Structure 1
Amino acid sequence: MAAAAALICAVPSFAGDILKPRAVVELFTSQGCNSCPPADAVLTELAERGDVVALGYHVDYWDYLGWKDTLATPENTERQHRYGKAFGKRTVYTPQAVINGRAHVNGAKGDAVSWAITEMENKGDGLSVDIGVTRAGESVVIDAAAAPGEKGDAHLVLVHFDPMRPVAIERGENKGKTITYANPVTSVQTAGMWHGKAARFELPRSEVNKKGGCAILLQSVTRDGLPGPILGAAIVPPEAETP
């Protein structure tokens, strides 16, 4: 996918039907964690609200408790560990909600998540770069605006996720529960570089569509490759299937 994105011009044209999100909330969760269902419910509320890019990263390090998370991937676990290093933490936990790549809170505490979103907006640490998404022929076109002063570098990150789904858990700490999971992440890929100036990226429409939903994150990355602040974001919703 990284090779599929191409910088094709530098004049943004924003789609009128794409809602600018207030924030990005990345929840690290597990079907085998008995503290996670309240956080999963918070993420579902955020996803249904529509003004937050809400992403569920299922991790695999609780699988030994008796239930293998059906949505977990090693890559999701690795992303959480990389956030841990970026935050200067030696350990990770669930449920952990990372807001705008800048801070983390207990994902089960909806008030704390909402407070963090509002506090970042008030401090100017919200999503400052507009992202526009349009479908044109066989392409999905992504337009990233310029940063204030046209300074800064960031990765254009594609986060693919499946539709919201209920999962019946048969063993482990959540045995007997059926829990609905919002936007479970299936893959994270870097598709290009943004250098602070307005830029346009083009992706094959077939590649975006075949993976379900897709979030676009404009995320700064340290020299060591650790994830940093998310500057802009948008959602490419799944296309309806043609009968």
Structure 2
Amino acid sequence: MPLRLWACFGGKGRHTSGDATIESHVATADLTAEEQKRGGPVLVEMFSSQGCKTSPAAEMVLSRLGRGDFELAVPVVVLVFHVDYWDHMGWKDPFGSTQWTVRQKAYVEALGLDTIFTPQVVVQGKAHCIGNDENALIDAITHAPRFPSLSFETTFTRRTPDSLQVSLTGTLRSKVDSQVANVMVALYESGLVTDIPRGDNIGRVLANDYVVRRLEKLCSVKDISAKKTVTGNINFSLWEGFNSSKCGLAVFVQSSSHQIFGSQSFQLPDAI
């Protein structure tokens, strides 16, 4: 469907539905028995831009959400995608990507919307709201469908200075029927600070967390049981200044209809 002009929204809104030494590190997700009983995390994605006047406030909300400031009974996995359609407005977002704009457009179409905007939050691929509306965000998370947490063990291997190999093996803990689903892996970075000399946020120093730097597909699955072992490897190219202590990994399963049904997150070891 055609999309209308993008916009930057603020205020309130309601949600709708080399020869380098090889180093390896293994991590597993740490979920309590009670969390497993209640269901796994809810995936919260935000589409944002340093060129959007109202996005910084929304990113502060998402940072607080990821830190647990809202003390929700529902665990969350937070990812922030910086889009590139604001880059011509005086400031080019260093974390912006056409890939993330395409991802947002897919959600806009799946949700039956006719406007693409920032800051937009999508919860479990099924509901959305304006990113700086705390009440709508919490309501969307509270009422989101819950699925068992993915159960993956992850090995991180730094084979060269500019690449990171991620090996995963585990189970989805949810049955996948005849509809194809993708197991996706996102590498994100927190603690980012940027001085903004131009654009709508001129003169501000912006802090960004959970910023997705890489997103890759581990595999596609179809007609598999919840207990079937899934395994695969991904090689991420690394950016200048990569610091593993600031980075995390999120794994999630997404159906062809864009619904998320299972996620899991890991903090990268401090010294990879």
Quick one: distance in 2 between partners of 1:234 and 1:16?
A: 7
Residue number among 186, 210, 227 corresponding to 1:159 in the alignment:
186
| TM-score between both structures, scaled by the size of structure 1 | 0.79
Of the candidates 39, 43, 53, which is equivalent to residue 24 of structure 1?
43
Per the TM alignment, residue 162 of structure 1 is displaced from its structure 2 partner at its CA by: 2.1
What is the percent sequence identity of the aligned residues? 27
Deviates more, 1:98-107 or 1:128-137: 128-137
Alpha-carbon distance, 1:193 to partner: 2.0
Matched, 1:218 2:253: yes
Inter-CA distance 199–237: structure 2 relative to 1 (3 Å threshold): farther
Establish whether residue 174 from structure 1 lines up as the match of residue 201 from structure 2. yes
> Which amino acid in 2 is paired with 1:111?
N
How many Å separate the matches in 2 of 1:235 and 1:160?
A: 10
* Alpha-carbon separation, structure 2, partners of 1:187 and 1:209: 8
Structure 1 residue 22, shift from structure 2 partner? 2.9
Q: Distance in 2 between matches of 1:189 and 1:97?
A: 21
| Cα separation, partners in 2 of 1:182 and 1:190, compared to 1, 3 Å | same
Q: Give aligned pairs, total.
A: 217
User: Which of 88, 103, 123 is equivalent to 1:64?
Assistant: 88
Q: Secondary structure at the match of 1:63?
A: coil
Unaligned ranges ≥5, structure 2: 1-26, 70-74, 158-165
1:237 aligns with 2:267: yes
2:55 alignment partner AA: C
Residue 92 of structure 1 corresponds to which residue in structure 2? 116
C-alpha distance 194-133 of structure 1, shift in aligned 2 (>3 A): same
Match of 2:17 in 1: none
The Cα of 1:181 is off from its aligned counterpart by 0.7
Partner of 2:137: 113
Partner of 1:81: helix, strand, or coil? helix
TM-score normalised according to structure 2 size: 0.71
Pairing 1:192–2:214 present: no
Which position in structure 2 is the counterpart of 1:48?
67
Q: Give 5+ residue unaligned stretches, structure 1.
A: 1-13, 223-227
Tell me: CA distance 1:103–1:76, structure 2 relative to 1, closer, same or farther (3 Å).
same
Runs of 4+, deviation exceeding 6 Å: none
How big is the shift at 1:136?
5.4
- For the pair 1:36 / 2:55, whether they are aligned, the reply is yes
Contact 1:133 1:140 in 2 (8 A): no
Amino acid at match of 2:231: E
Query: Per-residue deviation at 1:83?
Result: 0.8
Of stretches 156-165 and 54-63 in structure 1, the one that deviates more from structure 2 is 156-165
Aligned Cα root-mean-square deviation (Å): 2.6
